[in-house]
Amino acid sequence: MYIVKSKTPKLRFPEFSNEWDETSLGTKAKFLKGKGISKSDISEDGKIECIRYGELYTEYNELIKDIKSRTNLNRNELILSESNDVIIPASGETHIDIATASCVLKKGVALGGDLNIIKTKNDGVFLAYYLNNKKRIDIARLAQGNSVVHLYSSQLKSLNLLLPKIAEQQKIASFLTAVDDKIQQLTKKKDLLEKYKKGVMQKIFSQEIRFKPALSGAEVDDDGNDYPDWEEKIMEETATFYSGGTPTSTNKNYYSGDIPFIGSGDISNQSVTQYITKEALKNSSAKMVNIGDLLYALYGATSGEVAISKINGAINQAILCIRTKNNVTFLFHWLSFMKARIISTFLQGGQGNLSAQIIKKLKLRIPSDSEQNKIADFLSSIDKKIESVNTQLEKTKEFKKGLLQQMFV
């Protein structure tokens, strides 16, 4: 008994019905090797656009439209791209990472050393999506080495493919390109909103810009004066603080309960992976927090991150709970804004732990309750826009992922 492999994809444009042709990459392409361009050869005022193999891991996806680097090396000594070239690293750290294909959409781009260059009459964009996704595991299996992994053109030539006719390749490539364009647009929109928020927070908390009270507001006198000046305080004058603890790990029953156990890595997404029992809470220094409490990460890679709790749960010693007399959202935005300054001031080289005492002694300027509310509402409205765009972005990425699984054989 044997399984007959389908030669058509699950998801297909209705105008195409032919089976895909079984072939190998070696019969459909010619291969070249890029020529060395070192990091020191990169220049901001370079006249020749160039791609180094490491940038395939960090800068590019399946399509290369906008070139990130330039060089002033002698053009006659370089290997230059033709539009539709597909490039794959010739060396890397892991087998799966090296299986990274991109299509260069521009002519005359210098292609650096340690790049396999695939020249084909097939649609290069289609081929990049195909190799980078459906054939990625197969390519990884071809690579050789341990500490440094190598992938040679002689190995790539043996890669088995199933290819549709050129017209269908172009239709698939065009559709996936449109999806990637949407992802790039949403990514750019999100980045711009985040930069806008960062800039406006700088102006708000430095009081370069101020909000105006409503004409009927209780804090406006008969002459229509603005909100009162901000008052300078230290954090411990505005809130109460406590951190938690960790139940002993020797009692496994402690971790089979229904109380969310929040660690410092959980506060941003608040998607906990551990739950403790009431007995664990009673017999440890873990403490409960409520929805609406401020959670501040003191330890680890997330030091300085802050969130408003969306759940009732228990915290460990790496989290500081802050219960404020002021607008909690205002204080959340201020602490978020201050994160980089707090880390650079109190953590040597960005490493180490913060403490409750450090946070308690932070100086801040507090506006009136009404102005706090206006600031909080304004910044939260930007957060909602960022969250909305991010939701669209993640859905589009998932949509692309589903397409890549179903549009290739």
Which residues sit opposite 295 in a β-bridge?
307, 321
- pLDDT tens sequence for the chain (409 residues): 344 457 899 999 999 999 999 999 999 999 999 998 999 999 999 999 999 999 999 999 999 999 999 999 999 999 999 999 999 999 999 999 899 999 999 999 999 999 999 999 999 999 999 999 999 999 999 999 988 999 999 999 999 999 999 999 999 999 999 999 999 999 999 999 999 999 999 999 999 999 988 654 455 444 556 899 999 999 999 999 999 999 988 888 899 999 999 988 888 777 888 999 999 999 999 999 999 999 999 988 889 999 999 999 999 999 999 999 899 999 999 999 999 999 999 987 666 789 999 999 999 999 999 999 999 999 999 999 999 999 999 999 999 999 999 999 9
DSSP 112-127: -SSEEEEEESS-HHHH
Question: What is the model's pLDDT at position 43?
Answer: 96
pTM: 0.86
In this structure, are residues 84 and 124 in contact, taking their beta carbons and an 8 Å threshold?
Answer: yes
**Inter-axis angle of helices 328-346 and 166-205, nearest 10:** 90
Q: Which of 308, 307, 306, 315 is nearest to 292 (CA)?
A: 308
CA-derived radius of gyration, the chain: 28
Residues 6+ apart with CB under 8 A from 22: 7, 160, 161, 162
Percent composition of the chain: helix, strand, coil (DSSP 3-state, to 5): 40, 20, 40
Task: Tell me the domains of the chain and their CATH numbers.
Answer: 21-163 (3.90.220.20), 165-222+367-409 (1.10.287.1120), 231-365 (3.90.220.20)
E strand or H helix that includes residue 24: strand 21-24
